[in-house]
């Protein structure tokens, strides 16, 4: 039986069925962003598109939906049950004072029917709507522009090879808001001004910005910025953005184009122009050519979020400035002018250790680091996730790329200043970066390649795999 008082209403989220692993952490981050400390997860089912939420207000739900790319729609839940008969009982028990403002005589309304894992004939849909007559609708039906939209949702489970005759669960509610799935289309890299071989998919960029709890007026940094896809997403949520990349051509928008029919990048193909394309140029601070392995920032907590997609060395090399040869420091401490830094390999384990150290120093307290970690699936275990005593692990979500490989979206939050660690062993101590096996990822990636096609064997992803490397 539903409780009284609008604050205690129950809401139903209808979640998208892609990027399943990212949905719970996204909603949890958006709830936390609204200052709500706790998100009840007992009704969350890993593969189900439906999630009943308690303890939130309609304003919270609207706030979440104004940001979520994992949720399609949200409803104020009026009733639910395992059968239509249970739904009817539940709806008839729902306090009438909560329904009546939306059922008034002078109002207009429409009832939608949504089925998951089954397609209903038109006649069956009409029949479903007709059966809802036991609710005291007094307004006028308006299909085009109704004031209130109600929805009957039927869940036929998640197995397309075993669709039951009757739904496993049915819900009825008042539609409140849609999520931001449209951003995935409007920001597709296919239509983006400046792109590269490793430009991050729009949907995943927005998910990363949400996991990072990016908000208006935040300062966000991407140390491996590439073509700035992550900055595009963060600027869309009102953050000021900046980035760095070791590649001069990428930062200056020069060199070879990644487009099929274009040899060289055109004028104004750069990150600033990408933000201009989406109307967020005001949020662009700057980008610079810089090597992530070399600290160039003043030692201060500057950034509200660090969000990045480090290189894995598959499509672009993981290099850093420097030489394998020992360059002995001259006695006067000044290098001769002819000393030009060359580049040497930048091993993945070092990339992650540097990234975590950098984040510990330059994130504000409570600020988040969100980044991708490539893994060889058969060997994956929790110990592979790089740790840092100043950062707590918030979430760790898998995106499968092939039968052999996946990448994990790691979200960490700063909870301690590095200065507080003075009495602890040095951060480079292996106890903080116990696992060194990331370096073998490249080798293993290529060992899974189909020699003839040059493609990863059993590669299930298309656009996503494109963005891996
Ligand atoms: C996977 S890409 C990032 C793609 C980016 N998220 C985008 O949407 O275009 C990794 C980037 O890291 C850069 N990179 C490689 N080694 C680096 C280093 N030592 N310091 C800074 N950037 C580096 C590469 O030039 C590349 O642009």
Of 151, 180, 209, which residue is a domain's last?
180
Say if residue 247 is in the same domain as residue 346: yes
Whole-number Å distance, alpha carbon 456 to ligand 1 midpoint, is 22
Q: Is residue 328 one of the residues assigned to a domain?
A: no
Q: Is a pLDDT exceeding 80 seen at residue 321? A: no
Q: Is a pLDDT exceeding 50 seen at residue 7? A: no
Whole-number Å distance, alpha carbon 226 to ligand 1 midpoint, is 5
Whole-number Å distance, alpha carbon 57 to ligand 1 midpoint, is 41
Report the CATH number that the domain containing residue 164 is assigned in CATH.
3.30.2130.30
The gap from C-alpha 392 to its chain's centroid, in whole angstroms, comes to 18
- Rounded to 5, what percent of the chain is helix, strand, coil? 30, 25, 45
Q: Is a pLDDT exceeding 90 seen at residue 338? A: no
Say if residue 131 is in the same domain as residue 230: no
Whole-number Å distance, alpha carbon 53 to ligand 1 midpoint, is 39
SS3 assignment, position 347: coil
How far apart CA 99 and CA 103 sit, in angstroms, is: 7
Atom of ligand 1 nearest to the CA of 200: 8
Q: Is a pLDDT exceeding 70 seen at residue 458? A: no
Q: What is the pLDDT of residue 446?
A: 64
Of 127, 161, 180, which residue is a domain's last?
180
pLDDT level of residue 2 (50, 70, 90 thresholds): very low
Please count the other Cβ atoms lying within 10 Å of the Cβ belonging to residue 262. Answer: 11
Say if residue 124 is in the same domain as residue 191: no
Say if residue 246 is in the same domain as residue 377: yes
Q: What is the pLDDT of residue 286?
A: 97
251 in Cβ contact with 288 (< 8 Å): yes
Of 180, 200, 215, which residue is a domain's last?
180
Q: How many domains are contained in the chain?
A: 2
pLDDT level of residue 13 (50, 70, 90 thresholds): very high
Each residue's pLDDT tens digit, 74-118: 999 999 999 999 999 999 999 999 999 999 999 999 999 999 999
Q: Is residue 1 one of the residues assigned to a domain?
A: no
Of 208-222, 273-287, 377-391, where does mean pLDDT reach its minimum?
Answer: 377-391
Say if residue 130 is in the same domain as residue 197: no
Say if residue 141 is in the same domain as residue 234: no
How far apart CA 267 and CA 430 sit, in angstroms, is: 46
Q: Is residue 77 one of the residues assigned to a domain?
A: yes
Say if residue 196 is in the same domain as residue 175: no
Each residue's pLDDT tens digit, 181-196: 999 999 999 999 999 9
Closest CA to 80 of 177, 125, 160, 14: 14
Q: Is residue 329 one of the residues assigned to a domain?
A: no
- Spell out the residues 6+ positions from residue 447 whose beta carbon is closer than 8 angstroms to its own: none
User: Which range of residues forms the domain containing residue 71?
Assistant: 6-180
Ligand 1 environment, Cβ below 6 A? 196, 198-200, 224, 226-227, 229-230, 244-247, 250, 291-293, 309, 311, 316, 318-320, 346
Say if residue 269 is in the same domain as residue 407: yes
CA distance to 67, 108, 140, 141, per residue, from 144 (Å): 26, 10, 12, 9
How far apart CA 71 and CA 371 sit, in angstroms, is: 22
Q: What is the pLDDT of residue 5?
A: 43
Please tell me the residue having the least CA distance from ligand 1 atom 8. 199
**Percent of the chain whose predicted confidence (pLDDT) is above 90:** 70
Mean pLDDT of the chain: 87
Q: What is the pLDDT of residue 290?
A: 96
pLDDT level of residue 325 (50, 70, 90 thresholds): low
Say if residue 122 is in the same domain as residue 252: no
């Amino acid at each position: 039986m539903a409780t009284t008082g609008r604050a205690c209403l129950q809401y139903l989220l209808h979640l998208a069925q892609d990027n399943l692993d990212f949905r719970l952490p996204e909603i949890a981050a958006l709830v936390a962003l609204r200052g709500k400390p706790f998100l009840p997860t007992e009704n969350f089912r890993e593969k189900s598109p439906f999630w009943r939420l308690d303890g939130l207000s309609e304003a919270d739900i609207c706030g979440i939906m104004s940001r979520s790319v994992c949720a399609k729609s949200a409803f104020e839940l009026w009733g639910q049950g395992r059968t239509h008969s249970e739904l009817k009982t539940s709806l008839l028990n729902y306090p009438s004072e909560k329904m009546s403002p939306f059922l008034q005589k002078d109002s207009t309304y429409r009832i939608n029917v949504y089925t998951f894992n089954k397609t209903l004939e038109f006649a069956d849909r009409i029949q479903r709507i007709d059966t809802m007559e036991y609710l005291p609708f007094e307004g006028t039906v308006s299909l085009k522009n109704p004031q209130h939209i109600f929805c009957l949702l039927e869940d036929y489970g998640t197995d397309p090879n075993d669709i039951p005759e009757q739904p496993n669960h049915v819900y009825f509610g008042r539609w409140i808001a849609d999520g931001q799935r449209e951003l995935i289309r409007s920001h597709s890299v296919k239509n983006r001004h400046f792109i590269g071989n490793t430009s991050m998919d729009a949907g995943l960029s927005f998910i990363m910005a949400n996991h990072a709890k990016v908000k208006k007026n935040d300062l966000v940094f991407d140390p491996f910025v590439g073509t700035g896809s992550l900055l595009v997403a963060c600027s869309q949520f009102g953050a000021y953005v900046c980035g760095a990349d070791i590649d001069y051509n990428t930062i200056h928008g020069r060199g070879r184009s990644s487009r099929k029919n274009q040899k060289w990048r055109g004028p104004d193909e750069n990150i600033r122009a990408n933000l201009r394309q989406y109307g967020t140029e005001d949020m662009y601070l700057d980008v610079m050519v810089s090597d992530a392995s070399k600290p160039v920032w003043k030692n201060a907590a500057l950034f509200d979020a660090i969000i990045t997609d480090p290189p894995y060395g598959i499509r672009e090399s993981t290099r850093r400035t420097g030489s394998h040869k020992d360059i002995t420091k001259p006695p006067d401490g000044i290098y001769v002018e002819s000393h030009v830094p060359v580049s040497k390999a930048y091993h993945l384990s070092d990339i992650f250790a540097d990234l975590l150290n950098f984040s510990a120093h330059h994130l504000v307290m409570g600020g988040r680091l969100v980044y991708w970690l490539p893994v060889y699936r058969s060997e994956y275990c929790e110990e592979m996730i790089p740790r840092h005593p100043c950062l707590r692990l918030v979430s760790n979500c898998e995106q499968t790329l092939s039968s052999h490989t996946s990448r994990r979206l790691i979200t960490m939050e700063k909870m301690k200043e590095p200065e507080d660690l003075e009495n602890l062993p040095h951060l480079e101590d292996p106890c903080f970066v116990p696992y060194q096996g990331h370096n073998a990822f490249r080798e293993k990636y290529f060992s899974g390649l189909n020699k003839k096609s040059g493609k990863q064997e059993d590669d299930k992803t298309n656009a996503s795999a494109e963005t891996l490397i």
